[in-house]
Amino acid sequence: MRRFSWFNVTSLTLGFAFLYLPMILLVVYSFNESRLVTVWAGFSTKWYGELLRNEEFLDAAWVTLKVAVFSSTIATVLGTMAAYVLVRAGRFRGRTLFSGMIYAPLVMPEVITGLSLLLLFIGIGLDRGVLTIVLAHTTFSMCYVSVVVSSRLTSFDRSLEEAALDLGCSPFEAFRLVTLPIIAPAVISGWLLAFTLSLDDLVIASFTTGPSATTLPIKIFSAVRLGVSPEINALSTLLIAIVTLGVITASIVTKRAAVAQARDEQAAERNE
Amino acid sequence: MRRFTLIAIPYFWLLVLFLVPFVIVLKISLSDVALARPPYTPQLDLSLGWEGLRTFFSGLDFENFVFLTTDDLYWKAYVSSLKIALVSTLLTLMVGYPIAYGMARAPNEWRPTLLMLVILPFWTSFLIRVYSWMGILANEGTLNTVLLWLGVIDTPLQIMNTNTAVYIGIVYTYLPFMVLPIYSALEKMDESLIEAAEDLGCSKLAAFWLVTWPLSRNGIIAGCFLVFIPAIGEFVIPSLLGGSGTLMIGKVLFEEFFSNRDWPVASAVAVILLLILIIPIILFQRNEQKAREAEG
């Protein structure tokens, strides 16, 4: 049985304190009565009230959510297709360029992606707004989705697909009935990743948006440029709470699914 | 036919929304600034046929790139971005290695929880994580208040709006990228190797330097690249935590485009930034390839 050594406990404690203290402080100060960061003037939820009355923030939140849902859904479809092409389609003309275009956006600085997309939208005369942000977000997040999905595709047993084809499935049926259920966890985590990337993005959205659409990160950025603001503390706390709940739920669901699968496998073995 | 459609759809999407924009940036970086809409010349006029194409190409030149070398703002910004990225990568390694080590040596039943604790901040907004330091590092912020109260300092430290704040911001936000690859390298390591080294007379420290550190090298290199590459083009951290003296190329590009509206120069800045990034990206790819081959 392995135990913690004092050195490891210290490094882990310090490390996690560094990772979590700033966010904990943010949450604590969001309940501060005073507008000043450092002066504790008693517990209050008034900044949450101010936040919920602020129409601009609510509008921005709505725009951000719309963009994230659309872009992550399209990105998941396109990214899964791209992963399938990379892993299964074999050789075709232009394959090197294709895989280059999948991996390049992952390392591309956001300022360059944003700038180049903006110049494209201006060049073709597309009005900037929700549509252009969705196009931009879909493009970079489909690459993340395809990386996540292709790692799952390479690791799974191909003979299952071949069996389905031998038993008379069309390629599409084989994909829908065999491949998709097996890669589903990766597709779902790809969607979640794309969704979070979209919610989070400031730089690319700033380049590709117009006056008609302001996303939450753009709003937050312009509000905090000049310094700490209690409304933003409240907003951050809400966002941190949502993410924490989401991650905890997701981990419970996957754990349950794993337990259920293990039980099914055991039952199947007993029946043999 | 079906295979063709499957390939064509994502291919077409990436061509139009990734490659074409790129060619446009390259083209505008060779153009001249003009008081027009869009604010650069020449414009490609296909209705003039060959003649139009010829005037278009003869209008392109490397003037903007020459301009970048003469104005020291730009090369100072490139050098300073590289320096800031390098220093913060080393700092992230120093902070991240002990965490990864502690995780890899923790009791088995603890590991999934520790892993989740490292990944969780990655899911929370990057912008908010950077913002959370603004309240801590400000002159009348939490850190200074605590230090003054403890009597460690007499006057508040000026950390906010300096490069130090930028380092802290980069280390903080990119820490998971450093910890995870090192952790996965350390976790795969056979611990009996350490025991063997100690049995053969190594001290604990010597065993670490001679066995553990070299075996985690692939993880260290991967982690360093994962921090270094995005840090060079960083925009949010220098603009929120850095001061007017913090020169980073991502910030310069953003301001060149939005404040000065000089599109050709902004595009040239982007092209050079990309050329600088190609070297570490290729090195990173090679390292990954080698690691995969070593694993078999």
Residue B179: which pLDDT band, with cuts at 50, 70 and 90? very high
A154 domain-assigned: yes
- How far apart (Å, rounded) are the C-alpha atoms in residues B175 and A113? 24
At B146-155, the pLDDT tens digits run: 899 898 888 8
Residue B173: its chain A contacts at CB < 8 A? none
A141 domain-assigned: yes
Residue A272: which pLDDT band, with cuts at 50, 70 and 90? low
CA distance B158 to chain A (A): 15
Interface of B with A in 252-291 (CB under 8 A): 253-254, 257, 263, 266-267, 270, 273-274, 277, 281
Q: A32 - beta bridge partners?
A: A43
How confident is the model at residue B47, as a pLDDT? 65
A114 domain-assigned: yes
* Residue B94 sits at the chain A interface (C-beta within 8 Å): no
Query: Which of A241-245, B138-142, B230-234 holds the top average pLDDT?
Result: B230-234
How confident is the model at residue B203, as a pLDDT? 87
* % chain B with pLDDT above 70: 92
* % chain B with pLDDT above 90: 45
How confident is the model at residue A142, as a pLDDT? 96
Residue B103: its chain A contacts at CB < 8 A? 12
Q: Which residue has the higher pLDDT, B1 or B139?
A: B139
Per-residue pLDDT for B109 more than 80?
Answer: yes
| CB-based contact A228 B102, cutoff 8 Å | no
| CB-based contact B118 A19, cutoff 8 Å | yes
| CB-based contact B140 A38, cutoff 8 Å | yes
Rg (CA), chain A: 23
At B190-228, the pLDDT tens digits run: 888 888 888 888 888 888 888 899 989 989 999 999 999
Q: Which residue has the higher pLDDT, B77 or A156?
A: B77
Residue of chain A nearest B226, judged by CA positions:
A107
Q: What pTM value is reported for the model?
A: 0.88
Residue A171: which pLDDT band, with cuts at 50, 70 and 90? confident
CA distance B253 to chain A (A): 7
A261 domain-assigned: no
Residue of chain B nearest A78, judged by CA positions:
B10
Long-range contacts of B125-128 (CB under 8 A, 24+ apart): B125/A199, B125/A200, B125/A217, B125/A236, B125/A239, B125/A243, B126/A200, B126/A202, B126/B173, B126/B236, B127/A200, B127/A202, B127/A217, B127/A220, B127/A221, B127/B236, B128/A23, B128/A26, B128/A220, B128/A236, B128/A239, B128/A240
Per-residue pLDDT for B1 more than 70?
Answer: no
Dihedral Cα B268, B269, B274, B280, nearest 10 deg: 140
* Residue B111 sits at the chain A interface (C-beta within 8 Å): no
Residue A240: its chain B contacts at CB < 8 A? 124, 128
Residue B30: what are its φ and ψ, rounded to 5°?
-95, 0
How confident is the model at residue B289, as a pLDDT? 85
Residue of chain B nearest A246, judged by CA positions:
B123
Residue B88: which pLDDT band, with cuts at 50, 70 and 90? very high
How confident is the model at residue B70, as a pLDDT? 81
How confident is the model at residue A35, as a pLDDT? 78
How confident is the model at residue B37, as a pLDDT? 62
Residue B178: which pLDDT band, with cuts at 50, 70 and 90? very high
* Residue B44 sits at the chain A interface (C-beta within 8 Å): no
CA distance A272 to chain B (A): 32
How confident is the model at residue A208, as a pLDDT? 94
Supply the range of the domain harboring residue A68. 56-230
CA distance A264 to chain B (A): 23
Per-residue pLDDT for B31 more than 80?
Answer: yes
| CB-based contact B134 A228, cutoff 8 Å | yes
**Which candidate from A5, A11, A37 shows the least CB-CB separation from B138?**
A37
| CB-based contact B232 A109, cutoff 8 Å | yes
How confident is the model at residue B204, as a pLDDT? 85
The 8-class DSSP code of residue A167 comes to T
**Which candidate from B20, B136, B274 shows the least CB-CB separation from A25?**
B136
A245 domain-assigned: no
A68 domain-assigned: yes
How confident is the model at residue A42, as a pLDDT? 84
Residue of chain A nearest B275, judged by CA positions:
A108
The 8-class DSSP code of residue A169 comes to -
Query: Per the structure, how many domains does chain A have?
Result: 1
Q: Residues A1-13: what's their mean pLDDT?
A: 82
How confident is the model at residue A203, as a pLDDT? 94
CA distance A229 to chain B (A): 9
How confident is the model at residue B139, as a pLDDT? 86
CA distance A104 to chain B (A): 9
Long-range contacts of A59-64 (CB under 8 A, 24+ apart): A59/A214, A60/A214, A60/A215, A60/A216, A60/A218, A60/A219, A61/A216, A63/A130, A63/A213, A63/A214, A63/A215, A63/A216, A64/A198, A64/A199, A64/A215, A64/A216, A64/A217
A189 domain-assigned: yes
CA distance B135 to chain A (A): 6
**Which candidate from A2, A116, A142 shows the least CB-CB separation from B21?**
A116
| CB-based contact B3 A89, cutoff 8 Å | yes
**Which candidate from B21, B99, B108 shows the least CB-CB separation from A120?**
B21
Residue A33: which pLDDT band, with cuts at 50, 70 and 90? confident
Per-residue pLDDT for B43 more than 80?
Answer: no
* Residue B158 sits at the chain A interface (C-beta within 8 Å): no
A139 domain-assigned: yes
How confident is the model at residue B292, as a pLDDT? 80
Going along chain B from its start, the domains and CATH numbers come out as 68-295 (1.10.3720.10)
How confident is the model at residue B163, as a pLDDT? 93
At B76-86, the pLDDT tens digits run: 999 999 999 99
How confident is the model at residue A37, as a pLDDT? 66
How confident is the model at residue B14, as a pLDDT? 95
* % chain A with pLDDT above 70: 98
**CATH, residue A127:** 1.10.3720.10
| CB-based contact B131 A94, cutoff 8 Å | no
Average per-residue pLDDT for chain B:
88
> Which of A84-98, A173-187, B1-15, B281-295 is predicted with the least confidence, judged by mean pLDDT?
B281-295
